[in-house]
A and B are shown apart, each in its own frame.
Chain A
Amino acid sequence: MLRYTVLRVLGAIPTLLLVIVLAFLMVHAAPGGPFDDERVLPPEIEANIAKKYHLDEPLHRQFLRYLGGVVQGDLGPSYSYRDHTVSELIGGALPLSLHLGALAMLLSLIVGVTAGTAAALRKNTVLDRTVMALAMTGISIPVFVVAPVLVLVLAVYLQWLPAGWSGNAGGARYLLPVVSLALPQIAYIARLTRASMIDVLASDFIRTARAQGLGTIAIVRYHALKPAMLPVLSYMGPAVAAILTGSVVVEEIFGIPGLGQLFVRGALNRDYTLVLGIVIFYATLIILLNLLVDILYAVIDPRVRQR
C-alpha cells in the first residue's frame, strides 16, 4: 500500500510538469507573444514592459524563471491588475469559489448516490424511470442554461430567492448558484450509481449473499456499496473539473467575485499571466484530486492494493 502510494505520488510529478510546460508554451508560442496587442505602445514603454516581464530573455530562461516561481507559489505579476500578483488575486478569490464548489460537490454526491441507488433497487419501476428521465434531462441542460432559467423563474418571476450576489446576505444567496452547479453533476452521479449498482447487484456474490438470507439493506451495506461506489469515486476527478468549469459561468451569471469570474475577466482582457496562473492552479488541484482518488480506490479495492 505504501509502495503504491509513493508510486502514485511520483507519477503525478511529470503530469504537473507537463501542465506547466504546455500552458506556458501555449501562451508564449502565440503569435507575437503575450503582450502583442491591438494597442500600439511607444517603443520605450514596450521595451520597459518586455524588461519587466523578462520577455527579452530566451524562452527557456523565461520558462525556468517561471517554473522557479511556480514552485515557490509565485505566479508572477498580473498584466491587467497592475498592482497585484497573480498569487494574491487567486488567494483573494479562492475562498468563495471553494465554498461554492464544495457545497455543490457535497450536494451532488448525497442526492446523486441516493437517487441512483434507489433507482437501481427499484429497477424498471415508475421510480426508476422518473429518476432516470430527470437525470437525462439534467445531463442535457448545460449549467449556463440552468442558471439563468432558474434565476428567471425563481428570482425574477416568483421572487422567492435573490437573483444576484451583491446586496444580499445570508445562506439564501448561495442556494441558486450551488443548485445550478450541482444539477448536472447530480444527474451524472445518479446515472453512474444506478448503472454500477445494477451491475454489482447482478454479480454472483450478491446472489450468494441472498442465498445466505441477508436482506436488501444488509446486502447493500455489507456487499454492494463498496464495489458500486468505485465508478463514482473514479468520476470525482472529472466531477471537480466540471464544477470548476461550471463555476466559471455561474460566477459570471450571479456576479460572484470568485476565481471563475477572475478567470473569465482575465480571459476577456487577455491577461496572460493571470489566465496562465489560474490554469496551472486548476490543473494542480485536479491532478492532486485524481491522486487522492487513486489512493482511495486502492483503499477500497484490495486487488488494486497488491499491484
Chain B
Amino acid sequence: MINKSQMNSLGQSLLNFWRSSIGKKLIVAVTGIILVGFLLAHMAGNLLVFQGREPMNDYAYFLHHFLHGAGIWLFRLVLLGAFVLHIVTTICLVRENRAAREERYACEATVKASGSSKIMIWSGLTVLGFVIFHIFHFTVRVDPDLAAMKDPLDPSRHDVYGMVIAGFQNPLVVLFYIIAVTLLCSHLRHGVASLFQTLGFRSEKTRVAIGYLGIAIAIILWLGFLSIPSLVTFGLLEDKGAAIEHSSHSTASLLKC
C-alpha cells in the first residue's frame, strides 16, 4: 500500500516510475514516437534525391549548418538519447517478460497476436545493426571514395547526391538495406499501433483508425526508403552529372558566378 510519506519524495516517485512495468512501457512509447518522427522527416529529406543534385545537396548543407552547425549535433544528441533509452528499456522489458513465463507450454498457440508483434526484439536488433552500418556508410563514410566526392556544382561541399547513388551500386549493400528496412517496417506495423495503446489513446472509437495508422506508416516508410536503393539498382536513378562532371564543371562554376 502507498502512504503519504512515501509519496513525498520526487526521487522516489521517479524511481517507482522506472521500476514499474507501465512506466517502462511509457518510456518505450515516447522514445518510439521520437524515433518514428525522425524516420518520417529523414525519409522526406531523402526523397529530395529525385529532385536532383542541387536540392539534395542544398538540403544536406542546410542540415550541417543550421544554428552555425550546432543544430545537427543537438538533433543527434536527442536522437541518440531516445535510441539508447528505447533499447535499454526494451531489453529490460524482454528480460522481465521471459522471467515471468519461465516454464513454456509444450503445445504453444496464439489466437490473435500478429507476426510482427512476435518478433519485436529481433526486428529491433536488426535495426540496431543496420543503423550502425548505415552511419558508417553514409555519415562517417568509411569508404574513402564516397568520402572524397565533391559537388560538381560547388566543389567546396560534399556531394551527397552522388554519394547516395554510388553507395547503392553494390547489390549486397542494397539487399541488406531491403532486409533491414522491411524489418523496421514490421517493427512499426506493431509499434505504432502499440504506442497508442501504451499511451492510453486506444478505445472502441479509435481502435480501427490506430490499426490502419500503424499499417499506413509502415507502408509509407517502406516505399519511401526503399524506392531509392531499388531504383538505383534497376538503373532508373543514375548520376548523369558524374559522367559529364569534367565537361560541365567550368560551365557550372561560370553559372554560379
A and B pair up: no
